[in-house]
Each structure stands twice: as structure tokens, then as C-alpha cells.
Structure 1
Amino acid sequence: MVDMDRISISLPTKLLGEFDEIIGDRGYASRSEAIRDSIRDYIIKHKWIHSLEGERSGTITIIYDHHASDLMERITTIQHDYSNLIVATLHMHMDHDNCMEVVIVRGDAKIIRELTDRLTSQKGVKQVKLNVMVPGGNIPE
């Protein structure tokens, strides 16, 4: 049997409710098993992103609460720190409270990861999705 550790986490009620609906729909026997699967997926994603090397192009999509204290200013400052990597940005007002920013990037994969990590760690950022493409010359025809 696998060694298990017990942990305790705090989650917003609505988030936990949505998670419980999904695990019910998917037929999980327990919340713990669903959380273990989610953590495995997170680890796999992290390892994949950190295995990328060389020149890449892609997008970083950020969803954030625009009411969060000075968050827009912090995001803009971070983007200016990586202006040599950022080709363009697109800003969208999703609703009264949330904005989406799509950042188009081109450059070294390590630096793209660094930018993504800095954006992800900002308080008020709700979701960050990195989508990286292979260089155009490496796409099979």
C-alpha cells in the first residue's frame, strides 16, 4: 500500500461545491481520489512546461479580478520587464469584475516560463494558461 499523508486545506464554498459536482459526474469514489488526480495533473503539467527548451512562440492567457489592489499595474510592470519577449497583448472585459489578458510571446522557453510564473504568482490572478507552439519549421506537413 502507498504511504498517505493527511492534509487540511481551505477552499471557498462555491469552488468546493463545483468540484464536488464534477467529481460526482465523473464517478469518483471520494473527494480525496479526485484531489489526488488533480494534483497528478498539476505535476504532469508543471514537468511538461519545465521540459520545454529553445525558441518557442505561444500565448499566456490570464484571468484576473480587476478590482484587486494595484494588480493591473503589477501585471503591466511585469509585462514591461519582458518587453523583448512580448509581441502583442489583447485585453478583454469578461464581466464587471473579471478581465482576460492574452499575451503573445516569442522567445526562449525558459524565459517564457519565468514570465508565466511571475504572472501566476500575483495575488488576484485567478487563472493562467500557457499555450506553447513548436517552431514553424518543425511542424510536420
Structure 2
Amino acid sequence: MASQMEAGSDGLRIGKEYWLSLPQVTNLSEEPVRVLKARIVGGLPHGLKVIGYKAVSTKDTNGYGIGVLEAKSPGDDVTGLPERTATFTVKSHKPADWYHMVRFKVTGPVTEDTSLCRFWYQQGSVKYRQDLRCVNQLRLAK
């Protein structure tokens, strides 16, 4: 797996829910990798509450969506997607056709950033855990 991400959004509003993309993984190895789950390490910063996680297909979202998307907004192409899978396989030397998103609610002022995402995956019969940098500067609208 090899992905890193740094994104920002300064338009959040208290009481609203949003989707945040986690890094899209790429398999640099010679063998397929099965991604089991992904999470933001340590949770979200103060002022944000995790509602849930979802794996989505790049085919359903017209590609990999970077950043923040307001839940249930006119451009929200994630909320209505069926829960088809939580795990997915990434072919050798390819980026994943799926990626994870976290849904969160803004509960108050946000002054810290996310920093790490943790991925659990399996190659053959061996299971691995890897932390990847995923900085998200999430702030309230002015």
C-alpha cells in the first residue's frame, strides 16, 4: 500500500454531517492485497463525531473523491449507495477501485487536524496493519 493525503475544508457548519475520503490505496507488490478496513487513528479531532465508515466504488462516485462532501447535499453521491462491501481486493501494481470514507458530524469548534489513517489488509494468509499519513484540516465556516 502506498498512499498519502493532505486536504482541507474551511466550510463546515455545526450540526451538519459530512463525508471525508480516506486515502486511496495502491498495491505496489507482485501479489493481490485484500483491504479489510480503514479508520482514522485516534478518532476525529474535538468538535467532530464519527457516525460511521463506508467503502465505496470509484465507479459509483465517478472516480476517487478527495476531501469533504456534505452528507445529503445535492452533490452527495455517497449517502444513498448500498453497503456492498467493507473489504475489497487491490490487484498487483494497481490503485484500488474502492476507497473508504468516514461520515462525521460537526458538534463544535474544530482546532486540530487528523493525522493518520490505519489500514488492515491481508496478502495470502498473512494479515498486516499499516498507518498512512492523512492530514485533514477541517474548520468551521467563518
* Bigger strand share: 2
**Fold agreement, TM-score > 0.5:** no
Q: Which has the larger radius of gyration?
A: 1
Greater fraction of residues in helix: 1
